[in-house]
Amino acid sequence: MTVINDGQFGQTLITNAQEALEYHKQWTSKVQKGIHPKLAYEFGEDLSEVFGPKSMRRSVSLLSEEEIDSKMKAVRNFTDKNYYVQKGRLVIDEFGIINLVDLQIKKLKAFQQIIDPMTGQPVLYGLQFADYDLSVAFASGVLTSVDCIFINVEDVQRPVDLERQMHYYLGNYDSGSYTGIVGRVDTDLNGIIADDGQQGSTLTLDHGVLTLGVNFGTREGMAEDARLVLLSNVYKNPMKSFEIYRNQVIVAKDDAINNGGEKYIHQADRASYYLDKIVSEQSSRITFKFEGTKIGAGECNTVKQFQKLFKKYCNNDFTKRKPFQTAIRTVKHAFPSKPITSEAVWGLTELYKQLPAKMITDDLVHRIAQVLNKNFVNSNNVWNRTKDARNKYFPEDDVRNARLYGEDIRGPLMASAIVNICNAYVDYERSLQGAKTVKDFGFSEIVDSNKRVVTIALAHKTPEGKYHSVNEKTANTTSDIDEWIAA
């Protein structure tokens, strides 16, 4: 490799890993760090007006989940037109083309107005960010002073998402994941217009970096800005949910191993990591695969639906996993030779969530699984039969049935169907001549999110292929739906 000392440095070619590492060493040695004079003038030499005295600052890695949630919620819907903030976004299009440092000043002034209800102080007050780690910094492009980097906030750039900025502030910023700026030369401004990397660049400036890596072209004009924005953000093949999930799991495991435990996993990766822990346990094992691919026993190609359920019922908290994990166990017992889809898991998670914890035993899991196996073809069939009953007896065009439609009600509907088909099974077993004592399941009525009872009664399918309903001693041979009552 030939290195040219041209004031910064340059190179003609990298031909092996060692040369790449040498290039990285030279590149990072030229990075300038510190607090920009404009920022020091506005907020104090050590930015004490934003973050408070250094002696009172606390590493963001030490914040609890409650403290993080409090700050995120404060930012999310904050509005103050005097500081150009609308619903958590810094909207400064009236400033046209603005220097990156000037944008930074407006951003930090906005954050000064957002009060954390837990502390009574601005959300950034008392926080200490980690230093920018040059050893892992991404060697991207030509190092460029932030003084000559500009953003076209009027015509092509999106508002600064303060909630997303806060998310990265709170322990999720990674020096090795900032890949620099994509932009173009602007001879009128005597600088560079940054068309991609705006959000990450302001975050990197927050972490004390004054020179940023820039990859640039020489075609000028607003159309080129728009083209580069589209190339960087839209004209891509977006990742599918499974791709995102599996890569987040890999990153999270690496962070946990190399940084000292699960508490160092980035917030954005935790939900995928904990879901993977659940489905990696033998009793609740699921093998997730690409969307649209063929799946067999114990496999699933809809990881996104399981992510939704984990968030809905566990708030992505591993310690709250029991109803969700038990639902997966039940479905695996009920349909051991079938793929795992989310429908029955949804209904069962709702059921287990509404049951007293002491009721959820291995015996209950096996009994419910036995009934499901006798009455449904697979997990998806639980929702199909529930939906058919609802649509038949409570049509959507009747305004009185409005609460029974929509996504959120599906869990209670399926939970009720499972409860009542289990009750029908018990009633059938007791009706047989010389039947042994069959104990009740002990279920209570299922309610919706507003505590209103939801009841769907499906008949139990007997070995003879007939259907037995609770309080109905004669079999219904024409329909597997006895009745459906919604109260």
Give residue-wise pLDDT tens across range 256-271. Answer: 998 888 988 888 899 9
Determine the average pLDDT of the residues in 95-99. 92
Question: Is residue 127 assigned to a domain?
Answer: yes
The least confident of 29-43, 44-58, 94-108, 425-439 is 425-439
- The sign one gets for the Cα dihedral 113, 116, 117, 119 is negative
The structural domain count of the chain equals: 2
Question: Is residue 319 assigned to a domain?
Answer: no
Checking if the pLDDT of 326 tops 90, the result is: yes
Tokens linked to 418: 């499972």
Who has greater pLDDT, 230 or 54? Answer: 54
What pLDDT shows up at residue 320?
95
Q: 186-195 burial, b for 16+ CB within 10 Å, e for fewer?
A: beeeebbbbb
Q: Which of 186, 207, 233 is the last residue of a domain?
A: 233
pTM for this entry: 0.74
Structural domain including 465 reads 371-487
Checking if the pLDDT of 341 tops 70, the result is: yes
Q: Which of 233, 258, 274 is the last residue of a domain?
A: 233
Question: Is residue 412 assigned to a domain?
Answer: yes
Categorize the per-residue pLDDT at 300 as very low, low, confident or very high, splitting at 50, 70 and 90: very high
Question: Is residue 355 assigned to a domain?
Answer: no
What pLDDT shows up at residue 264?
82
What pLDDT shows up at residue 10?
52
Question: Is residue 352 assigned to a domain?
Answer: no
Question: Is residue 199 assigned to a domain?
Answer: yes
Give the span between the Cα atoms of 423 and 460, in whole angstroms.
9
Q: What is the pLDDT of residues 71-88, one digit of tens each?
A: 999 999 899 999 999 999
3-state helix, strand, coil in the chain (%, to 5): 50, 15, 35
Give the span between the Cα atoms of 332 and 123, in whole angstroms.
45
What pLDDT shows up at residue 376?
95
Tokens linked to 319: 């310690």
Q: What is the pLDDT of residues 346-390, one digit of tens each?
A: 999 999 999 999 999 999 999 999 999 999 999 999 999 999 988
Question: Is residue 263 assigned to a domain?
Answer: no
The listed range with the strongest mean pLDDT (109-113, 134-138, 202-206, 433-437) is: 109-113
The least confident of 1-5, 272-276, 311-315, 342-346 is 1-5
Q: Which of 200, 233, 266 is the last residue of a domain?
A: 233
